């Protein structure tokens, strides 16, 4: 349904500042609306004002800095509460001055991996996901061998330093066997690669009980759930095969999505580009992906690549 004049999306800008060690500047909201939450500094684009000019003005007013070059990271076309926004997020490549909280309660420099632990207004969370989520995502194949062999294969796969996210996908196991394997998977991966984001595929309660970093929902779960299954401090990924499912994932409050064809056909750059333009979620292209495909899928608008057999040791 088209937005009415009352519902028309408010154009706003946000600036992402990084210091010399890669930390990102967050600003804590004052006032009444969502006070205490953390956001990326910025504000409204005035009528007739260019987005880049609004960015410079807002960051000067809020932080007391003068910005130089800025690069658009994403535009979050938010259509939920409290109102519709077109949030243009820019990475600030250089600036002058020391950021100071003129209109916020406080400022905090935060490592990208720690952003998930800071409560944010919903429109800021897709920006957070793009800043925090690594681009290479391994989904394990079904554990057809015994658990020890599967975990040894996992260790071999995790020797690849590119991999930044791993989800355990084991739909064929009984509940007891899955719980046992998930606990061992978590211990092995944490010991070998404490930097990894570890997800449980489809098993929401098991992810919560064992302390996974989040869950990867099936497409059926995306369309059947009525609310986000885990809190904001956990990652929620969604399996999607169409723009309809991507919209459902957005509405559910997912942080990111994998996108693939329902069958075995490659997705294709044009389909990936259309989906990426139509969704504010970071999208991982899935289906026959290799590390060398990252530049191609990013050129089409995706955030990263997800793979199963491509990064798993050969049988």
Task: For residue 73, give the nearest of 128, 23, 10 by alpha carbon.
Answer: 128
- Go through the domains of the chain in sequence order and give each one's CATH number: 10-111 (3.90.79.10), 136-311 (3.20.20.70)
Cα 65 off chain centre by: 28
The pLDDT of residue 287 is: 87
Q: pLDDT tens digits for the chain (315 residues)? A: 344 444 689 999 999 999 999 999 999 999 878 999 999 999 999 999 999 999 999 999 999 999 999 999 999 999 988 889 999 999 999 999 999 999 999 999 999 999 999 999 999 999 999 999 999 999 999 998 789 999 999 999 999 999 999 999 999 999 999 999 999 999 999 999 999 999 999 999 999 999 999 999 999 999 999 999 999 999 999 999 999 999 999 999 999 999 986 555 556 778 888 888 889 999 999 988 888 889 999 999 999 999 998 889 976
Residue 297: in which H helix or E strand, if any?
helix 294-299
Are 188 and 154 in contact by the 8 Å Cβ rule? The answer is yes
Q: Is the pTM of this model over 0.85?
A: yes
Residue 249's closest CA among 272, 277, 282, 271? Answer: 282
3-state helix, strand, coil in the chain (%, to 5): 35, 25, 40
Whether the Cβ atoms of residue 290 and residue 309 lie closer than 8 Å to each other: no
Tokens of 252: 């559910």
Burial of 112 (0-12, 13-18, 19+ CB in 10 A): middle
pLDDT of residue 8: 87
pLDDT number for residue 64? 97
Q: How many angstroms separate the CA atoms of 223 and 188, rounded?
A: 33
Please name which of 240, 247, 217 lies closest in space to residue 230, comparing C-alpha atoms.
217
Render 149-208 in DSSP notation, one character per residue: HHHHHHHHHHT-TT--EEEE--TTS-HHHHHHHHHHHHHHHHHH-TT-EEEEES-HHHHH
**Residue 117 and residue 151: Cα distance in Å, rounded?**
29
The predicted structure's pLDDT at residue 314: 79
Report angle CA 112, 114, 115 to the nearest 5 degrees: 70
């Amino acid at each position: 349904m088209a937005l009415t004049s009352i519902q028309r999306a408010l154009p706003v800008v946000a600036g992402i500042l990084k210091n010399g060690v890669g930390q990102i500047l967050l600003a804590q909201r004052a006032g009444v609306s969502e006070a205490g939450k953390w956001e990326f500094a910025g504000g409204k684009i005035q009528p007739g004002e260019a987005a880049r000019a609004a960015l410079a003005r807002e960051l000067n007013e809020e932080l007391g800095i003068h910005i130089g070059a800025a690069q658009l990271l994403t535009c979050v076309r938010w259509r939920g509460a409290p109102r519709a926004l077109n949030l243009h997020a820019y990475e600030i490549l250089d600036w002058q001055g020391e950021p100071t909280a003129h209109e916020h309660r406080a400022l905090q420099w935060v490592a990208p991996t720690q952003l998930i632990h800071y409560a944010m207004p919903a429109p800021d969370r897709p920006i957070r996901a793009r800043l925090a989520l690594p681009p290479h995502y391994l989904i394990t194949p079904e554990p057809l061998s015994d658990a020890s062999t599967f975990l040894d294969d996992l260790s071999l796969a995790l020797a690849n330093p590119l991999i930044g996210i791993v989800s355990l996908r084991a739909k064929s196991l009984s509940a007891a066997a899955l719980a046992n394997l998930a606990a061992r998977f978590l211990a092995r991966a944490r010991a070998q690669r404490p930097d990894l984001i570890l997800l449980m595929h489809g098993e929401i309660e098991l992810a919560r009980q064992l302390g996974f970093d989040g869950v990867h929902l099936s497409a059926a779960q995306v369309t059947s759930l009525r609310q986000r299954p885990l809190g904001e401090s956990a990652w929620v990924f969604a399996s999607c095969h169409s723009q309809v499912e991507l919209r459902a994932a957005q509405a559910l409050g997912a942080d990111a999505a994998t996108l693939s064809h329902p069958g075995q056909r490659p997705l294709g750059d044009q389909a990936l580009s259309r989906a990426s333009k139509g969704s504010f979620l970071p999208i991982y292209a899935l289906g026959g992906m290799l590390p060398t495909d990252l530049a191609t899928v990013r050129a089409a608008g995706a955030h990263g690549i997800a793979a199963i057999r491509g990064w798993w040791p050969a049988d």
